[in-house]
């Protein structure tokens, strides 16, 4: 019994199926003193004739038979009959020259294991009893290693497509030697518009497309790479011993065509590259993370390829530090609304204000809105920032009302925020809390954001418009909206981008665009306002074209609320 206890302890230490199966053969040979050896094979109960049964461990005379089909090794008809009987009866078969041990795993995998061991001498009665006790330990062990294998599969395999996932790739990098890492590149490949393709052609088609792309990636390099799925539309590719890759050599990856369901699908991929040799101190997780960050940066910059570098790392670190400070600033309401007046160009009277977010950094300098607004949008902070600007604008309306000024204030809002189901109620709640009428607030959304959210934004705008809220299209002329689309929108005002105003004397084309926008707005019954008015000449030209409203440094830049009140009072006096 002591030998059985020791054998059980040694078997328990094995968690991988192959290791466990070899240990089973070793323990049987040790206890029963057999030298000829045996095999462990995996089989399926419905596999008549053992055509699929595969040898997963071998010892003694059968040590070289691993990974071979059982039928190619076993030629003894008596042994074949014994194996068939073991499966039919789901029990062990003990004979004088060999025994066949049966272990079922139907409850976990739908497969089982046969242990076939040749004997140098027949088993005694005590030996047979000892073997039956050992078999109970072996049976329990096979269930455990199969469960462990299933958990490992769940951890390292994508359950939908059956391909390796991020965990597997990170483990692969961890297991590399320093020399192997030095010769390895990591690519991150993002498939553009895959979500749209799936919505049009279906999930089954996109699953096949993804698998076909995986096969294609395996053919793009001298050595077969390790490919894993990071997300539904993003692949990770480990390339070994090919250090010289760049945008030109990766052309087959970035722009490719693959066959899916008898049709050719053209794909454009955005690709990031991390050369492990340039960052020897990075952990596996860090290498994958910077690959993902570089990919996101490439997507943000609108480029198809970007390699991670020290310069980019420094820039990302600076961006990360700025994001931390931005989060703190927003959560502590440190970003303040400044107000730029909107003027009637004909008589230079005040007709409203635009609220502009201003952030004074901890060193006393202003952070450009072009820098922190996109960061707020990409990090999910824009919702809270928009709400703060709305509330500060309401408070400014009330402060101006106290000195006899009642003009609306326009507030910038992200298009993807307006389409949120709760935006309408939250908007009404802020105005109710501050006691501001709906017609005193205007919402400004950029033309490009109108286009991005065009499938759902208009119904949300219509709800706001029924309250009396005016909707302005900001930076008009810089996007690609069609006239047909523009005519369907619940908007009140077109706001001309400053670039057209600044260039109207330099470019006849910009002058004509400006003329067209103003004429279009007037013909559709929309108000037209121009930003970036800095000179009397620009003011006169805009008036000549039919634009009667504007804002810019000709009148005033953006001011704090107190400076705004002072500016208004001095103008009144």
For residue range 70-103, list pLDDT tens digits in order. 777 777 788 888 888 888 888 998 988 889 898 8
* CATH superfamily of the domain spanning 166-308: Reverse transcriptase/Diguanylate cyclase domain (3.30.70.270)
What are the start-end ranges of the E strands in 298-346? 305-307, 336-344
Q: Please tell me the predicted confidence (pLDDT) of residue 486.
A: 65
pLDDT at 30: 85
**Per-residue pLDDT at 484:** 56
pLDDT of amino acid 154: 72
Q: How far is CA 401 from each of CA 125, 440, 565, rounded to the nearest angstrom?
A: 104, 11, 10
Over range 200-217, report the average pLDDT: 84
> At residue 445, does pLDDT exceed 60?
yes
Where are the chain's structural domains?
A: 2-156, 166-308, 336-572
Asked whether the beta carbons of 334 and 392 are under 8 A apart, the reply is: no
The two tokens of residue 246 are 């760049």
Higher-scoring residue by pLDDT: 52, 194: 194
| Residue 109 in this model has a pLDDT that exceeds 60 | no
- The per-residue pLDDT for 50 is 67
pLDDT digits (tens, 9 = 90+) for 123-156: 888 888 888 888 888 888 888 887 777 777 677 8
How does residue 406 score in pLDDT terms, banded at 50, 70 and 90? Answer: very high
The answer to whether 166-308 and 336-572 have equal CATH topology is no
Measured at the alpha carbon of residue 473, what is the angle toward residues 469 and 476, in degrees to the nearest 5? Answer: 165
Smallest CA-to-CA distance from 230 within 285, 150, 281, 312 is with: 285
What is the percent of the chain where pLDDT is above 90?
A: 30
Average pLDDT over residues 329-350: 94
Contact 312, 319 (CB under 8 A): no
Residue 110 is predicted with a pLDDT of 58
488-535 pLDDT, tens digit each: 677 889 888 888 888 888 878 878 888 888 988 888 888 999 999 999
User: What average pLDDT score do residues 555-559 get?
Assistant: 95
Confirm whether pTM is higher than 0.95: no
Pick the most confident of 266-275, 376-385, 393-402, 526-535. 393-402
Q: Between 3.40.50.300, 3.40.720.10, 3.20.20.450, 2.60.40.10, what CATH number should domain 336-572 receive?
A: 3.20.20.450
pLDDT at 541: 93
2-156 fold:
Beta-Lactamase (3.30.450)
| Cβ atoms within 10 Å, residue 72 | 9
What average pLDDT does this structure show over 161-174? 86
pLDDT at 572: 56
* Percentage, residues of the chain above pLDDT 70: 92
**CB-based contacts of 391, cutoff 8 Å, min separation 6:** 430, 433, 434
Give the largest CA-CA distance in the chain.
118
pLDDT of residue 357: 96
Q: Which helix (H) or strand (E) holds 322?
A: helix 310-331
| Res 567: pLDDT | 95
Q: Which pLDDT belongs to residue 2? A: 64
pLDDT at 387: 94
Could you tell me which residues come within 8 angstroms of residue 236 by beta carbon, excluding any fewer than 6 positions away? 166, 169, 186, 187, 188, 189, 227, 228, 229, 230, 288, 291
Confidence band of 451 (pLDDT split at 50, 70, 90): low
Average pLDDT over residues 320-342: 92
Give the model confidence (pLDDT) of 427-438 as tens digits: 999 999 999 999
Query: Which residues on adjacent β-strands are paired with residue 445?
Result: 473
Q: Return the closest-CA partner of residue 274 out of 286, 251, 291.
A: 291
pLDDT at 1: 57
Per-residue confidence at 487, pLDDT binned at 50, 70, 90? low
């Amino acid at each position: 019994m002591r030998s059985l206890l020791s054998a059980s302890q040694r078997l328990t230490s094995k968690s991988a199926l192959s290791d466990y199966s070899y240990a089973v053969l070793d323990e049987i040979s040790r206890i029963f003193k057999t030298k000829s050896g045996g095999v462990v094979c995996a089989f399926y109960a419905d596999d008549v004739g053992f055509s699929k049964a595969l040898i997963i461990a071998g010892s003694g005379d059968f040590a070289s038979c691993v990974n071979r089909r059982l039928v190619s090794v076993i030629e003894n008809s008596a042994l074949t009959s014994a194996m068939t009987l073991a499966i039919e009866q789901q029990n062990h078969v003990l004979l004088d020259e060999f025994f066949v041990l049966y272990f079922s795993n139907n409850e976990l995998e739908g497969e089982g294991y046969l242990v076939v061991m040749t004997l140098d001498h027949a088993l005694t009665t005590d030996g047979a009893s000892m073997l039956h006790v050992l078999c109970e330990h072996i049976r329990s062990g096979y269930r455990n290693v199969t469960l462990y294998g299933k958990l490992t599969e769940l951890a390292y395999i994508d359950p939908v497509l059956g391909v390796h996932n991020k965990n597997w790739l990170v483990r692969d990098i961890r297991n590399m030697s320093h020399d192997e890492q030095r010769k390895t590149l990591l690519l991150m490949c993002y498939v553009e518009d895959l979500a749209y393709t799936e919505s049009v052609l279906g999930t089954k088609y996109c699953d096949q497309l993804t698998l076909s792309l995986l096969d294609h990636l395996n053919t793009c390099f001298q050595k077969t790479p390790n490919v894993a799925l990071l997300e539904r539309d993003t692949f990770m590719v480990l390339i070994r011993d090919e250090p010289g890759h760049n945008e030109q050599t990766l052309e087959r990856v970035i722009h490719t065509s693959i066959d899916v369901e008898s049709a050719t699908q053209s794909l454009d991929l955005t690709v990031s590259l991390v050369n492990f040799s340039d960052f020897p101190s990075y952990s596996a997780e860090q290498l994958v993370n910077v690959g993902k960050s570089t990919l996101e940066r490439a997507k943000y910059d609108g480029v198809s390829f970007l390699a991670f570098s020290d310069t980019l790392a420094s820039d990302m670190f600076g961006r990360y530090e700025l994001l931390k400070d931005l989060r703190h600033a927003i959560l502590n309401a440190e970003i303040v609304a400044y107000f730029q007046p909107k003027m009637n160009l004909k008589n230079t009277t005040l007709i409203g204000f635009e609220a502009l977010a201003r952030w004074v950094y901890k060193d006393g300098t202003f952070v450009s809105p072009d820098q922190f607004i996109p960061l707020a949008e990409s990090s999910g902070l824009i919702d809270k920032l928009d709400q703060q600007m709305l509330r500060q604008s309401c408070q400014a309306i009330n402060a101006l009302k106290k000195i006899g000024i009642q003009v609306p204030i326009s507030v910038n809002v992200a298009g993807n925020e307006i389409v949120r189901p709760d935006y309408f109620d939250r908007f009404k709640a802020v105005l109710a809390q501050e006691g501001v009428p709906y017609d005193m607030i205007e919402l400004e959304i950029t033309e490009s954001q109108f286009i991005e959210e065009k499938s759902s934004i208009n119904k949300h705008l219509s709800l706001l418009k029924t309250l009396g809220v005016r909707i302005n299209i900001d930076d008009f002329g810089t996007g690609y909206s069609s006239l047909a689309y523009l005519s369907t929108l619940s908007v009140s005002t077109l706001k001309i981008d400053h670039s057209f105003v600044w260039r109207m004397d330099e470019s006849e084309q910009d002058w004509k665009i400006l003329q067209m926008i103003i004429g279009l707005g007037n013909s559709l019954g929309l108000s037209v306002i121009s930003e970036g008015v800095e000179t009397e000449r620009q003011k006169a030209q805009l008036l000549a074209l039919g634009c009667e409203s504007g804002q810019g440094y000709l009148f005033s830049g953006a001011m704090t609320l107190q400076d705004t009140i002072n500016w208004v009072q001095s103008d009144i006096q």
